[in-house]
Amino acid sequence: MGIDRKPRLPEIQGRRMKKPGEIFRVEQLDLEFANGQQRRYERLISKGVGAVIIVAMPDPDTVFLIREYACGVHRYEIGLPKGRLEPGESILEGANRELQEEVGFAAANLQEIGVLSLAPGYMSHVTHIVLARDLRESSLPGDEPEEIEVIPWAMDNLVELVRRPDCTEGRSIAALYIARDMIRNHAFN
Amino acid sequence: MGIDRKPRLPEIQGRRMKKPGEIFRVEQLDLEFANGQQRRYERLISKGVGAVIIVAMPDPDTVFLIREYACGVHRYEIGLPKGRLEPGESILEGANRELQEEVGFAAANLQEIGVLSLAPGYMSHVTHIVLARDLRESSLPGDEPEEIEVIPWAMDNLVELVRRPDCTEGRSIAALYIARDMIRNHAFN
């Protein structure tokens, strides 16, 4: 028992793709659990090879946030830069590309510090957290419809940030706290 | 400029529903941004009235985690109890129901401490964070295919928790850190 117990995974007894939208694919799974219970689940399958979210720090106390239009909630949201990896690109290469497209900086020091799921109950999506340091100005053209606003923020003031009604994304908040804890605990380098 | 600037929202010039899956609805939006750029976006529309994620604390140092099969990533995941609100149910009522279904406790003290989005760029989904205290044993039958394992965890040991490969959900991690910061700062009551 306890947190390190390994439960037996349900057996996948059937699997089929449902009619796709243009960017979302739905897969149906027939499952049998260890206790014999059978269920049919649907899950969203991510196209592509995962995503990155970047904690870019121009100095040891500051992180670069961005403000960007968020279509799902139809408002401007403040959060960390992120994006999908391109085929053939490593996690750190993708992070450095997104950083140049969205923030206008490149990093000489990139380190993966964790992995986040989005809604693991019904989405396969995976996002790698990358800590980016030793920054220098360097831009790449992105596909955004308008210029992204970059907002430097104090890493020791996350409490004020997460109280804002326009900073709500679970992955951004989780990545910021994970990076802050690591930096405080000197758990990397 | 600065974080409190209010950018002008893009104008919604067209909107239509795409062929739905059984549980996912896709909406297409035609947008015009303040600079005149036009784009077509797709977003996932949540059915229902939102969700709750519950930070249930049996004592001031401990939180109840659950281990549950997560179909999207096909593994058992450790995280906070959560679920969709039912029609007509308040946020706090829904939190107390989910707590009884998934953890086997009811709370006399329930408080909403924040709101999380999932993927605000392309999902409308909203999750209310509820801090639950003054717990007593009380169960309600849920619709889970197997019994959910409840794991008490020390709130001051989130670093070890988020390093685990089976604790990855952005919303759970964000809610745990937000609650921990609030408790440390006595920013509620």
CATH number at residue A180: 3.90.79.10
A176 is a domain residue: yes
Q: What is the pLDDT of residue A188?
A: 53
B188 touching A, CB under 8 A?
A: no
B29 is a domain residue: no
What is the ipTM for the molecules in this complex? 0.93
Contacts of B122 in chain A (CB under 8 A): 23, 71-72
- Which of B37, B113, B159, B177 to mutate to probe the A interface, most A CBs <10 Å? B177
Is residue A68 predicted with pLDDT exceeding 70? yes
**How would residue A8 be classed by pLDDT, with cut points 50, 70 and 90?**
confident
> How close does chain B come to A64, measured CA to CA in Å?
12
**Mean pLDDT across the stretch B123-140?**
96
Is residue B189 predicted with pLDDT exceeding 80? no
**Mean pLDDT across the stretch A76-82?**
97
Q: What is the pLDDT of residue B35?
A: 92
Kindly report the pTM of this predicted structure: 0.93
- Which of A117, A123, A178 to mutate to probe the B interface, most B CBs <10 Å? A117
Q: Which domain holds residue B81?
A: 48-184
Contacts of B18 in chain A (CB under 8 A): 21-22
CA distance A42 to A101: 34
Looking at the structure of chain B, the number of domains it has is 1
A30 is a domain residue: no
With H, G, I as helix, E, B as strand and everything else as coil, classify residue B2.
Answer: coil
Looking at every residue in chain B, the average pLDDT score rounds to 91
Contacts of A46 in chain B (CB under 8 A): none
B151 is a domain residue: yes
Using a pLDDT cut of 90, give the percent of chain B over it: 72
Q: What is the pLDDT of residue B18?
A: 63
**How would residue B12 be classed by pLDDT, with cut points 50, 70 and 90?**
confident
CA distance B87 to A187: 45
Listed residue (A8, A134, A111, A105) closest to A52, CA to CA: A111
Amino acid identity for residue B165 in this structure: P
Reduced 3-state DSSP string for A49-67: CCEEEEEECCECCEEEEEE
Reduced 3-state DSSP string for chain B: CCCCCCCCCCEEEEEEECCCCCCCEEEEEEEECCCCCEEEEEEEECCCCCEEEEEECCECCEEEEEEEEECCCCEEEEECCEEECCCCCCHHHHHHHHHHHHCCEEEEEEEEEEEEECCCCCECCEEEEEEEEEEEECCCCCCCCCCCEEEEEEHHHHHHHHHCCCCCEHHHHHHHHHHHHHHHHCCCC
A161 is a domain residue: yes
A153 is a domain residue: yes
B37 is a domain residue: no
B110 is a domain residue: yes
Greater confidence (A93 vs B21) lies with A93
Strands A11-17 and A25-32: antiparallel
**How would residue B22 be classed by pLDDT, with cut points 50, 70 and 90?**
low
